[in-house]
Structure 1
C-alpha cells in the first residue's frame, strides 16, 4: 500500500513538474553556453570541451522534447485553461533552439548541417503555431505569445543563417569574386604572345614609417592597431580556411610587414580569433544593419511580452503559482540573455573594425595627440576586455598555468587570445608509467583510452617568449631565402634536410635520419634522441643554456603529442605513426624490465633508462615483425644520439632546435586547413599559429605566380 502511494505521488510530481523542469533546464543551458562558450578560445581543457559538448547537444534535445511535451499535454489533459501558460512557453523554446551568439556551431561539421536546422526551423515553427491554434484566443496571452514567437523565429533564423554562411561551400563562394572578362582577356593575350604585363606595386613610404614606429612602441600601446592590422590580413587570407590560393602580390606585401616577432605573433593570434568568430559564432551575421535591426526587434518583443504578462489577469488564466514564477523566470532570463549578448557584441573586436577598419598609422593625417571618439571608444573596449579576461583567469586559475614554471619569463598575459600553452607527450614518461594490460583492455572496450591518456600523460606547459622568438627568427630567415615560389615550396617540403644543408652537415651521418625517412619514423627517432641528450645534459647544464635546451625538448614532446593524441589531424603526413609509437613502446617496455629497479625515484628511473638506452644494441631478425619495427626505431634513435654526441654542446642543441622547428613547420603547412580551423574551438594550437604565420611570411604552396615587371 505504501509503495503504491509513493508511486502515485512520484507520478503526480512528474506530471505537474516535468514541463517546468524542462523549461528551467533549457534556460539554464542557454545561460551556461553564453557564459562558457567564449572560453573555448582561450582554454585548452578536455573537461571544458566535454561540458560544452554535453550542454550544446542537451540544449537542442531539451527544447525539442519540451515542445513535444507541451503538445502532448494539450491533447491528453482535459483542462484547457491550465494549458494557456504552457502554450505561452512554447515560443521560448524556439528562441532557445536559436542558441546564444558565442556558439552557433560546436564543430566545423555542424556548419554543414545547416539544411537540417532549416528543416527543424520550419517544423518547430509549425508545431508552435499548432499549439497556438489549439488554445490561444485574443483575451488569453495571444499578443505576448505572438511577440515571443517572433523573437524565437529571429533567434533560430540567425543560427541557421550563421551555419549556412560558415559552411565550406558558402564560405568559399563568399570569398571568390566575380571574374573580370576584360582582365581575363588581357591576361590571356599576355600569356599567349609572351608579352610582359607591368604592374607597379611599390612599397609605400608610410608602411616603412609604420613598421619603424611599431618596433619602437610598447605592445599594449599598439593593441588597437594590432586588431585593425589583424582584420586587414584576415580579410586577405580568410580563404585559407577553405584551401584557396593567393597572389604573389599579397605574398610580398605580408612578407614585408611581418618583421617583428612580438607583433607578428600578436597579429596572428587576433587573426585566428576572427577565423573562430566566422566559423563558430553568430557575430559576423549579427554585425549588419539587418542583423542589428532583428536584434532590436527581438529585444523589444521580449520586453513587451514581459510587460503584457505582468499586467495580465492571472486569475483568469487559472495558473498555479509555481507556473507563474517559471514564466517570470523565462521572461527575465530571456532579457538577461539579450543584455549579455548585446554587451558581447559591443565589447568585441568586430565593433573596433566596424568603427574604423583601416589602421590609423597608415593615414598621413593621423595625429596621435588628437584622438577621435572612435579611437577613445575602441581603447575603452580593449581595456574592458583585458579586465574581463583577468576575471576569467582568476576564476579558472588559468593565470597560474601560464605564469608558473621555468618557462615563464614574464607575468601571465591576460590579454592573450588563445590558450598560449604547449602540450607535451613524452615517450619515456609513458613507458615508465604505462597502465597494465588489463586496464588498457578495459578502457579500450569503453573507448576511454584517448580521454584518459590526455589526462594522465599529456602535460601542459606555458609557451615561453624565447621559444616564440626562435621560431619566428627561423621562419623569417627562410622567408628571406625564399625569393621565388619554387624555393618556398622546397623549404616547406624539407623535414630537416634544409637545416642540415645550410648548417654544413649535408655530408654527415645526421642526414640519414631526415632524408628518405618517413615523417612519423623521423619524429620518433629524433624525439627519443632528444630525450636522451636532454636528460644527460640536464645534469651538466651550463648556466644560461637552459632556455636553449628546452626549445628542442618542448617541440619534441609537442610533436609526439600531435602524433599520438591528434592522429586525425596528422593523417595528412602520418598514416601509421600511432602504430609505430605503440610498437616502439612495447619493445621499450621489455627493455625496462632489465633496466629499472622497482621503487626508484621517478627522476632517477628516467635518467637510468636514458643512459642505458644509449647503449641499446638489439638483434634484428630477417622478418619485418611488429617487434622488429619497434627495435629498428629504438636502434636508429640510439645511433642518432651517438652522432649528436660528436658535436659540441651548444652546437648540438642549436642543430636540434633548428631541426625540430623545421619538422614543426613541415607538419604545419601540410595539415589540412579544416583540421587547423577545428583547433580554434579547443584553445588553439601552436601548429596552427605557425601555419598562419608561415603563410603570411610567404612560405607554402598557397600562392600562384602573376605576371610581374
Structure 2
C-alpha cells in the first residue's frame, strides 16, 4: 500500500515538473516571439482596414461592419501594446551596450506609428470617433513619446538607427494627418467652417448722415426699399453629373451641420433639378454628392486631395522607399534572419499600402474632377495609369467598386414576422433567441437599380409637384392634390394630418392594408398595376424596416410599442387557427373578419395594436376600387401614399442620423432627404424674396 502511495506521489511530482517545464518553455518562446507576432499582426490589420474601409460605403451587410469594427479597435490597441512591449524589453536590456536584436526591434517602433496613423480609406469608424479627436491626440502624442524613448535608449550609432529617422518622419506625418482629419470632421469644427463671414449689412450711420445732410439742404426726401431678386443660377457648366454633384456638394455641406442656406441656394438648386427629365438623372447627382460627403466625414479624402496633403503623401512615400533601398544596401549580418525578414515585410508592406492608397486615390471622383480641370500631358499619363490599374486589380476584386451606396433597401414584413414567430410556439428558448438576435440576422435587402425607372421616377415626379407649392406645411405639401376630385383631395388632407399626429400608427396601418390589397390583386395582368404594386410593397416594407431596425430615423413616437402589440394580436389569431401556415392564408383570414364595429369601441386604448384598423383601410380601398372599376387608380393612390410617407420621414430625420448611415451602405431615405432639400422642400432655407436695399429719393 505504501509503495502504491509513493509511486502515485512520484508520478504526480513528475507530471507537475513536466507541466512546469512546459509552461516555462511556452513563456520563453512567447517572450522571444511576442514583438514579432504583434508587429506582423498590426501590419495585417492595416491591410484589412485599407481593403475593406471604402467597401462599407456600398456593402450594408452586418459581417463587414463587425469585421471592420474589430479591426479598427484592434489596430490601435495592437500597435500601442507593441510599443509598450518594446519599451519593457529595453528596460531588461539597458545594462548592455549593444544588443543587435533589440536595435532592430526598436527600428520597428516608427512603423507602429505609421500604423497608428491609419489608412486613407477609414479614419473614423463612426461620426462619434470624430468627436473624440482630443482624446486621440493625447493618445497618439503619448505613443509618439514612447517610440522616441525606445529609439533613444537603443541608439548606438548603427546604420539601422539612422534609418529609423525617415520612418519616424513618415510616422509623424501619418499621425498628423489622422488628427487633422478627425478634428476637421468633428461637429463643432465642421460647423464653424461652414459659417459665412460676418455681414454687418449697409452702413446705417452713414446712410442717416446722408439723409440728414440732404434734409438740411432743403430737399424733400423719401426712403424706399428695393428688393434684390437676383439669383446666381449657374447651369451652363453643370451638364455632367459629376460637375453638378461637386458644385451642389460645396453649396449644401451646411445641411450636414444643421445650418440654414440662403434663398439663392434654394432657387439655384431647385431650377436645376426641375429641369431634369428623369428621376435616374436626379438620383445620380445625389449619389455622387453623398459619396463626397462620406469621404469628407470618414476618410482622409478632404486632406489628401489638397496640395498640403499631396506633399505629405509624397514625403511619406519617399521616406519609406529610401529606407527600403538603404536597408537593402547596408550590412545586415549582425541581425538574425527572422528579424531581417520581419523588417522587410514591414517595409514592403508600408510601400504596398502607400501605392495601393495612391491607386484608390487615382480612381476616385476627386481625381476625376481634378483631371478635367487640367490640360497637361501629365493628365493623359494619369488616365492611362488609372485604366491600367483598374484592369489589373479590378479583375481580382482588390480595388473597391466605383459605387456610391448599396443601391438596396431593407425589407421587413409584419405578417412574415408573425408567421415565423408561430413556428417557435412551445419553445421559449428558441423564441427568446430569435427575438434577441433578430436584428442581426433578419435583414432582407431588395435592390434599387439605376434602370429601375418606376421607383425613382415616382419619387422624383411627386417631389417636383410638391416643390411647386409653397406656404403650407411639409406634410400638406407632400400630399397636395391638384386634381378636381374633392373626395381624393379630402382623403390626402386627412392623411397628412394623421401622419403628423401619429406617424408610426399611419405606417403600420397602411403597411398591413397594402399587404391585404396586394393579396387581392396579385393576379392582375396589367403591367402598370404590377409596377405600382411593386413600388408600394417595396416602400411599405422599407419603412417598417426603419421602424423596427432604425427607429431613430423616423419621427418620435411609440412605433415599437405599436409594432409589438400589433404582432402580438396577429400571432394570437394565427395560433388559434392551426391550419394557417403561410402569409396568404393569414391575409385571407384577416380580410374576412367582420369590421363593422370600430376596434377602439371594443378594445379601448389599452392595446396599441392597429391590426383591424388596417383591415378597415384595406376594405375601404378595395370597395372603392371595385365600385369605380379603377383598380389602377387605387394602386396609384396607394403608391402616392407611400412616396409621401417616405418623403415626410426623410424630412423629419436629423442630419446626423443621415450622415451615420453613410458608412453602413447608405439609405434611400437619405437620398430622398437631400433631393427634397435641392427642390426646396425643407426647413433649412432662409425663405426670403431677396435682400432689401434702401435708397434715398430727392424731390
TM-score range, shorter chain: 0.7 to 0.9
Partner of 1:334: 350
Partner SS, residue 629 of structure 1: coil
Which has the larger Rg?
Answer: 2
The alignment status of 1:526 with 2:510, answered yes or no, reads yes
Instruction: Identify the match of residue 242 of structure 1 among 249, 253, 257.
Output: 257
Partner SS, residue 225 of structure 2: coil
User: For residues 42-81 of structure 1, what are the structure 2 equivalents within 5 Å?
Assistant: 42-77=58-93, 81=99
1:193-215 Cα shifts (integer Å, max 9, x gaps): 761233433757x74xx78xx5x
Conservation of the 8 A alpha-carbon contact between 1:513 and 1:640: no
Conservation of the 8 A alpha-carbon contact between 1:83 and 1:135: yes
Conservation of the 8 A alpha-carbon contact between 2:295 and 2:302: yes
In the alignment, the residues of structure 2 paired with residue 437 and residue 185 of structure 1 have an alpha-carbon distance, to the nearest angstrom, of: 76
Deviation at 1:186, TM superposition (A): 11
Conservation of the 8 A alpha-carbon contact between 2:476 and 2:493: no
Structure 1 length-normalised TM: 0.84
Instruction: Identify the match of residue 176 of structure 1 among 195, 205, 211.
Output: 195
1:549-568 Cα shifts (integer Å, max 9, x gaps): 10111000000011101022
In the alignment, the residues of structure 1 paired with residue 549 and residue 384 of structure 2 have an alpha-carbon distance, to the nearest angstrom, of: 41
Partner of 1:367: none
Conservation of the 8 A alpha-carbon contact between 2:480 and 2:493: no
In the alignment, the residues of structure 2 paired with residue 513 and residue 182 of structure 1 have an alpha-carbon distance, to the nearest angstrom, of: 44
Task: Flag the 1:327–1:420 CA change in 2: closer, same or farther, 3 A.
Answer: same
Partner of 2:243: 228
In the alignment, the residues of structure 2 paired with residue 338 and residue 685 of structure 1 have an alpha-carbon distance, to the nearest angstrom, of: 31
Deviation at 1:634, TM superposition (A): 0.9
In the alignment, the residues of structure 2 paired with residue 182 and residue 234 of structure 1 have an alpha-carbon distance, to the nearest angstrom, of: 27
In the alignment, the residues of structure 2 paired with residue 285 and residue 546 of structure 1 have an alpha-carbon distance, to the nearest angstrom, of: 48
Deviation at 1:391, TM superposition (A): 4.2
Instruction: Identify the match of residue 430 of structure 2 among 417, 423, 439.
Output: 439
CA RMSD of aligned residues (A): 3.1
Partner of 1:221: none
Aligned residues: 641
Partner of 1:218: none
1:531-575 Cα shifts (integer Å, max 9, x gaps): 1111221134434532121011100000001110102222xx033
Task: Flag the 1:293–1:671 CA change in 2: closer, same or farther, 3 A.
Answer: same
Q: Which moved more, 1:538-547 or 1:9-18?
A: 538-547
Partner of 1:255: 270
In the alignment, the residues of structure 2 paired with residue 545 and residue 587 of structure 1 have an alpha-carbon distance, to the nearest angstrom, of: 31
Q: Which moved more, 1:38-47 or 1:192-201?
A: 192-201
Partner of 1:629: 608
In the alignment, the residues of structure 1 paired with residue 373 and residue 605 of structure 2 have an alpha-carbon distance, to the nearest angstrom, of: 60
The alignment status of 1:428 with 2:428, answered yes or no, reads no
Task: Flag the 1:341–1:537 CA change in 2: closer, same or farther, 3 A.
Answer: same
Instruction: Identify the match of residue 519 of structure 2 among 535, 539, 544.
Output: 535
Deviation at 1:20, TM superposition (A): 0.8
Partner SS, residue 121 of structure 2: coil
Partner of 2:289: 271
Partner SS, residue 520 of structure 1: helix
Partner SS, residue 44 of structure 1: coil
Partner of 1:467: 455
In the alignment, the residues of structure 2 paired with residue 376 and residue 22 of structure 1 have an alpha-carbon distance, to the nearest angstrom, of: 43
In the alignment, the residues of structure 1 paired with residue 252 and residue 224 of structure 2 have an alpha-carbon distance, to the nearest angstrom, of: 30
In the alignment, the residues of structure 1 paired with residue 410 and residue 263 of structure 2 have an alpha-carbon distance, to the nearest angstrom, of: 35
In the alignment, the residues of structure 2 paired with residue 568 and residue 275 of structure 1 have an alpha-carbon distance, to the nearest angstrom, of: 21
Partner of 2:226: 196
Conservation of the 8 A alpha-carbon contact between 1:166 and 1:279: yes
Partner SS, residue 315 of structure 1: coil
Conservation of the 8 A alpha-carbon contact between 1:497 and 1:515: no
Structure 2 gap segments, 5+ residues each: 1-16, 209-221, 692-699
In the alignment, the residues of structure 2 paired with residue 610 and residue 58 of structure 1 have an alpha-carbon distance, to the nearest angstrom, of: 49
In the alignment, the residues of structure 1 paired with residue 108 and residue 121 of structure 2 have an alpha-carbon distance, to the nearest angstrom, of: 24
Deviation at 1:104, TM superposition (A): 0.6
Deviation at 1:680, TM superposition (A): 0.9
User: For residues 119-518 of structure 1, what are the structure 2 equivalents within 5 Å?
Assistant: 119-183=138-202, 195-201=225-231, 207=236, 225-258=240-273, 259-260=276-277, 261-316=279-334, 319-356=335-372, 391=395, 416-434=403-421, 435=424, 437-442=428-433, 448-454=437-443, 458-463=444-449, 464-479=452-467, 481-482=468-469, 484=470, 486-487=471-472, 490=473, 492-494=474-476, 497-499=479-481, 504-506=486-488, 514-516=496-498, 517-518=501-502
User: For residues 686-701 of structure 1, what are the structure 2 equivalents within 5 Å?
Assistant: 686-701=668-683
In the alignment, the residues of structure 2 paired with residue 188 and residue 638 of structure 1 have an alpha-carbon distance, to the nearest angstrom, of: 68
